[in-house]
């Protein structure tokens, strides 16, 4: 690319009021994201934990890489990490590699990075850049309607039979007897942080994040509804879970985002997962999903007949220091996985219209 006979200069900038509109225009042009004022304000201005580095040339945005700043618990105490997402570059500028410049810009920083590779191409690039694969995130799905099965390629006969006989069989139910009490909450209680600090199962895991939880709960209606639950045993706080119910296309999804119990309460994972799943199913969801690396959560999901649906590698970049050894907890609340997928621009405009509310 040239301007007046000279090569056009690509500049890496942080998102701010001067380039924000150009960044939003780039994102909207390259992806079918919501384009309502409510969504754009929430997504690009209001998040207390979000930052973004963008490639600009002559006032035009040609590549983006967003990230959420999250606190992680490590063997050496708490440390801030960046969870990158929305890594996109203009095809017209492929030869100048603006996307690669952005990821290298992040890698030169002092803050470690952790990300789930959404595509094989992204995973391959991170391997070539010498990121460390720290975990494999397992994704599960529990069909609850024939409409969901039809959307996954099953014929009308299978979908119809499922609605008659299968839904009752697969729908999760709360345990008849449980030593675990599920308590709705606004955000994770302060006591959760102590449970995370005391756990010894994971060498690396994200700490509860009340600020980001509040931001998610302020999401526009097109992104659905977010819920937080405290888990108590004999009145004592022993863990928490977060979840989301959201429309996507013609289907209603229920998703378990975070599930955690203290080391001394691991036997209650089946009860916690069953109770949260039953709550989500109560909204009339067509499918329940969950993504995690936690062995206890995975066993509980399998016991409820959740089916393996996908798996994706999680990578970390530690700069000059070595990545920690030991299990890493990654779940459905990492980066934009907590608010993706989402409605198309047209669908979100309809859902957020005042008459619909």
Within a 10 A sphere around the Cβ of 67, how many other Cβ atoms? 25
Helix axis angle, 269-281 to 295-303, nearest 10°: 60
Q: Could you tell me which of 23, 90, 87 has the C-alpha nearest to residue 61? A: 23
* The three-state (H, E, C) secondary structure of the chain, written as one string: CEECCEECCCEEEECCCCCHHHHHHHHHHHCCCCCCHHHHHHHHHHCCCEEEEEEEECCEEEEEEEEEEEEEEECCEEEEEEEEEEEEECHHHHHHCHHHHHHHHHHCCCCCEEEECCCHHHHHHHHHCCCEEEEEEEEEEEECCHHHHHHCCCCHHHHHHHHHHHHHHHCCCCCCCCCEEEEEECCCCHHHHHHHHHCCCCCEEECCCHHHHHHHHCCCHHHCEEEEEEEEECCEEEEEEEEEEEEECCEEEEEEEEEEECHHHHHHHHHHHHHHHHHHHCCCCCEEEEEECCHHHHHHHHHCCCEEEEEEEEEEECCCCCCCCCCEECECCCHHHHCCCCCCHHHHHHHCCCCCC
Phi first, then psi: what are they for 322, rounded to 5°?
-80, 145
User: Please, which residues have CB within 8 angstroms of residue 19's CB and are 6 or more apart in sequence?
Assistant: 13, 54, 56, 59, 61
Q: What is the pLDDT of residue 341?
A: 85
- The predicted model scores a pTM of 0.92
Terminal alpha carbon distance of the chain: 47
Q: What is the pLDDT of residue 356?
A: 47
* Tens place of pLDDT per residue across the chain (357 aa): 444 444 578 999 999 999 999 999 999 998 888 889 999 999 999 999 999 999 999 999 999 999 999 999 998 889 999 999 999 999 999 899 999 999 999 999 999 999 999 889 999 999 999 999 999 999 999 999 999 999 888 888 988 989 898 889 999 999 888 889 999 999 999 999 999 999 999 999 999 999 999 999 999 999 999 999 999 999 999 999 999 999 998 999 999 999 999 999 999 999 999 999 999 999 999 999 999 999 999 999 999 999 999 999 999 999 877 777 899 999 999 999 999 987 677 777 766 776 544
Q: What is the pLDDT of residue 165?
A: 87
What is d(CA 114, CA 317) in angstroms, rounded to the nearest whole number? Answer: 7
pLDDT in tens, 281-325: 999 999 999 999 999 999 999 999 999 999 999 999 998 777 778
């Amino acid at each position: 690319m040239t301007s007046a006979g000279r090569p056009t200069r690509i500049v890496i900038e942080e998102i701010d009021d001067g380039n924000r509109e150009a960044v939003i225009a780039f994102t909207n042009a390259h992806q079918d994201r919501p384009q309502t004022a409510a969504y754009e304000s929430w997504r690009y201005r209001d998040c207390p934990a979000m930052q973004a580095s963008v490639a600009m040339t002559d006032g035009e945005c040609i590549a983006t890489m967003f990230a959420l700043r999250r606190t992680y618990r490590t063997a050496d105490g708490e440390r801030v990490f960046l969870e990158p997402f929305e890594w996109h570059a203009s095809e017209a500028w492929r030869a100048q590699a603006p996307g690669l410049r952005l990821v290298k810009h992040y890698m030169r920083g002092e803050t470690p990075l952790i990300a789930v590779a959404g595509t094989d191409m992204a995973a391959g690039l991170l391997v070539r850049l010498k990121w460390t694969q720290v975990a494999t995130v397992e994704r599960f799905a529990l069909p609850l309607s024939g409409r969901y099965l039809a959307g996954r390629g099953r014929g009308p006969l299978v979908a119809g039979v499922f609605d008659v006989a299968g839904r009752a069989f697969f729908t999760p139910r709360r345990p008849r007897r449980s030593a675990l009490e599920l308590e709705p909450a606004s955000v994770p209680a302060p006591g959760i942080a102590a449970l995370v600090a005391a756990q010894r199962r994971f060498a690396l895991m994200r700490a509860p994040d009340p600020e980001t939880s509040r931001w998610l709960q302020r999401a526009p209606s097109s992104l659905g509804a977010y819920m937080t639950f405290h888990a108590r045993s004999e009145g004592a706080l022993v863990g928490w879970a977060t979840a989301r119910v959201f429309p996507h296309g013609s289907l209603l999804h229920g998703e378990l985002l975070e599930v955690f119990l203290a080391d001394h309460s691991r036997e209650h994972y089946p009860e916690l997962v069953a109770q949260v799943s039953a709550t989500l199913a109560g909204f009339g969801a067509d499918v329940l999903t969950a993504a995690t690396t936690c062995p206890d959560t995975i066993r509980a999901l399998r016991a409820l007949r959740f089916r393996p649906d996908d798996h994706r590698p999680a990578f970390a970049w530690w700069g000059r220091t070595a990545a920690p050894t030991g299990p890493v907890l990654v779940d459905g609340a990492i980066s934009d996985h907590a608010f993706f997928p989402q409605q198309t621009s047209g669908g979100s405009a309809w859902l957020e219209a005042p008459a619909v509310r």
